[in-house]
Amino acid sequence: MADLSITAALVLAGVGANLDFGGKAGATITAGKVVYEDDTTNRYGLADSNGSAAAKQAKGIALGGASDGQYLAVLRAGPITIGATLVPGTAYYLSDTPGGICPLADVGSGENVVQIGIAASTTVLHVDIQNPGVTLP
């Protein structure tokens, strides 16, 4: 399998989602990408399962696009129409492609296992980020 192929224009927060509107982008970010918050700059960057320690700490999914320094809306938890085709009941994880989302089978050696959420339907991902700090051998 491969990372979800997300159509940014179709990304939409669901009813009751936990949103953050106060952060700024620290890089160019598009809707549907998984982000982390840099403790040094207090800006969002693209999360990465085999990146720096900070980048492995996913915080949410970008709801829109932003360039470095622009404000970025981020869904921290709850339902999101992700703009990709999902398999209901399947758990999805942080990819080694910056900002990407993939099935568990694509998380490999040297990567942190960071669950992003579980598919509630073919279009809706229920985001509940879990990062147990486990790196695959």
pLDDT in tens, 121-137: 999 999 999 999 889 99
| Residue ranges of domains in the chain | 8-130
Residues 64-74 have pLDDT tens digits of: 999 999 999 99
**pLDDT at 37 exceeding the cut of 70:** yes
Between the alpha carbon of residue 74 and those of residues 32, 87, 109, 116, the distances in Å are 9, 23, 29, 13
Q: Which pLDDT score is estimated for 30?
A: 97
Q: Which pLDDT score is estimated for 6?
A: 97
Handedness of CA 28, 55, 123, 22 (dihedral sign): negative
pLDDT confidence band for 63 (50 / 70 / 90): very high
Per CATH, the number for 8-130 is 2.40.300
**pLDDT at 47 exceeding the cut of 80:** yes
Q: Which pLDDT score is estimated for 1?
A: 59
Q: Which pLDDT score is estimated for 22?
A: 87
Mean pLDDT of the chain: 95
Three-class secondary structure of residue 73 per DSSP = strand
* Selected residue with higher pLDDT from 47 and 54: 47
To the nearest whole percent, how much of the chain has pLDDT over 70? 99
First to last CA, the chain: 20
pTM for the full predicted model: 0.95
Q: Which pLDDT score is estimated for 55?
A: 83
- Bridging pattern class, strands 101-103 and 34-37: unpaired
Q: Which pLDDT score is estimated for 57?
A: 92
